[in-house]
Structure 1
Amino acid sequence: MARLKPWRWAVFGLAALYFLVPLAASVVFTVDVPGQGLTADAYTEILSTDGFGSSLLLSLELAAATIAVVLLLLVPATVALRLGAPRLRPVVEVVCSLPLVVPPIAFVAGISTVLKWGPDHLSHTPLFQTFVAIQNPDFPFVLVLAYVVMALPFVYRALDAGLRAVDVRTLVEAARSCGASWPQALVRAVLPNLRGALLNSAFLTLALVLGEFTVSHLLGFTPFAVWIVNVGGEQAQLSVAVSVLSLLLTWLLLLALASAGGRSRTTASRG
């Protein structure tokens, strides 16, 4: 095994300090209560705090819906680009990169304008009920639509990297020659070889939805990130404790993703 050079150890050490020192300070802030000494009350009170379960469940539901929608949109599109329309790839790449250019404030301002315009001009049409339904506080589907747009750059890059490592044309032609339809060729031949890219896309989307605050707050909804900020105005230690636990959960998901990707690569190399 090659030894790491000293400057690489220095970079790793600085990166560890950059991430671990704020995390350690946050943990100390949550467990060291003035006048009480060391206590874990901030962590034990999380589950019983009003709104914790409902906001977390809402964020997880929004994340699941966002992952499903964005993958249903981009997987067939990226495969079609590789097979039949490679010249359109720059166009799709630019379109998927636009959310990185548009500020979230401008993005949510546009959404708010459309949501206000719709009921005023479509009150006597069937679309009026659609505008009402997508703003249901129990499951605001308008946030799913917004998150899909925001996730496009990350999901597209992950899928494009996965497709570059796979000979999609050969896989599809082999499946078609065996009598598979186009959907069957996509599901049975292409998707199993994109497991790592799909996992990366799902994880990036999940992290985006769990941490997104601006759009959901300005539209008046209360998913997990907004709930953390609201609680922080009243119970600072509880808010930081929830943030620490959510960060640890994200790291655990990342480790699980890396482990799953490593097992899939090992299986593929053995096969």
Structure 2
Amino acid sequence: MTKFLAWTAILLGCLYFALPMIGMAEFSLSMRRDAYSLDAYRVVLADPRFQATFLFSLAMALVTIVFGVLLVVPTAVWVQLKMPRLRPVVEFITLLPLVIPAIVIVFGYIRLYNTSGWLPLTGSVTGTNILLMFGYATLALPYMYRAVDTGLRTVDVATLTEAAQSLGAGWLRIMATVILPNVLGAVLSGAFLTLAIVIGEFTMAALLDRPAFGPYMQVLGANRAYEPAALAVIAFAITWVCMGLIGTIARLSKHKGA
């Protein structure tokens, strides 16, 4: 009886998430009357704004991933090796983006870094892009840090570091050739989560007036019917591809470790 109730709950949960997605996908195929077609997808993929905004968000995601790795990996290693007592404090700080709304963060950025502020980043396109990258890195920080910290806990970082130092390696070389290869699966997991966050983020990009994929989805949804559904399916597929890659990398890492 217990097993039946458990499977029933799982089935109901799957239906709760699957039925809306199936309905959205079916609607996206209904642009042509009395027949299913990929017309909505063709219109979206041929739209120059789709290509421009998607490439912009993809570039921002890559930059954010590089910045996040350079920030999180040394910090997590340093906390584990030198300051283990500060782990709860660091974990609390990295979890703050989950409880502070993105709109609060971006309004703070605009207030501090506008053209009349002490560091006028919003006065140029490059400065605004840098500010947006910092915002994305903040939103992705809980996921990136958790992924890297979990990976580091499966590795004897202290022994590896001491062995590398005994051979004359400096900290930069230790990070690049010893630590990073051993937690590459965890880093890639955090990277794919970051990519999914950046692709779908709307608030920061819209308020900073950047041509990102999230605002494009909102504008398209306000003016079209079938194309937004097709765009949502595409965005959902990208997210699930990222999640599938995370699972694949995790399994490969386990097999390699074994």
Give the TM-score, by structure 1 length: 0.87
1:234 alignment partner in structure 2: 223
SS at match of 1:32: coil
- Give 1:7's aligned amino acid: L
| Cα shift readout 1:72-110 (whole Å, capped 9, x = no counterpart) | 011001101111111222222222122122222221211
**Superposition pairs for residues 1-271 of structure 1, below 5 Å?**
5-33=3-31, 35-116=33-114, 119-120=115-116, 128=120, 130-133=121-124, 135-136=125-126, 140-269=129-258
Distance 1:242 1:194 in 2: 34
- Give 2:234's aligned amino acid: L
- Give 2:139's aligned amino acid: M
Distance 2:33 2:203 in 1: 36
- Give 2:159's aligned amino acid: T
Structure 1 stretches of 4+ with a deviation exceeding 6 A read none
Distance 1:31 1:255 in 2: 25
Instruction: Compute the RMSD of aligned alpha carbons.
Output: 2.1
Distance 2:116 2:66 in 1: 31
Name which of structure 1's ranges 186-195 and 78-87 shifts more when overlaid on structure 2: 186-195
Distance 2:24 2:216 in 1: 18
Name which of structure 1's ranges 73-82 and 174-183 shifts more when overlaid on structure 2: 174-183
| Cα shift readout 1:120-140 (whole Å, capped 9, x = no counterpart) | 255xxxx55x5534x449x72
- Give 2:192's aligned amino acid: F
- Give 1:132's aligned amino acid: G
- Contact 2:31 / 2:40 at 8 angstroms: preserved in 1? no
- Give 2:219's aligned amino acid: N
| Cα shift readout 1:189-230 (whole Å, capped 9, x = no counterpart) | 221221221011101111111111111112222211110111
Compared with structure 1, are the counterparts of its residues 47 and 79 closer, same or farther at alpha carbon in structure 2 (3 Å cutoff)?
Answer: same
Distance 1:157 1:40 in 2: 39
| Cα shift readout 1:55-83 (whole Å, capped 9, x = no counterpart) | 00000001001111111011001101111
Bigger helix share:
2
CA drift of 1:40 comes to 1.8
- Give 2:61's aligned amino acid: A
- Give 2:74's aligned amino acid: P
CA drift of 1:146 comes to 0.7
Distance 2:131 2:5 in 1: 48
SS at match of 1:63: helix
- Give 1:155's aligned amino acid: M
- Contact 1:59 / 1:209 at 8 angstroms: preserved in 2? yes
CA drift of 1:31 comes to 1.5
Distance 2:219 2:166 in 1: 58
Aligned length: 257
CA drift of 1:8 comes to 3.4
Distance 2:217 2:171 in 1: 45
- Contact 1:195 / 1:261 at 8 angstroms: preserved in 2? no
Q: Which runs of 5+ in 2 are unaligned?
A: none
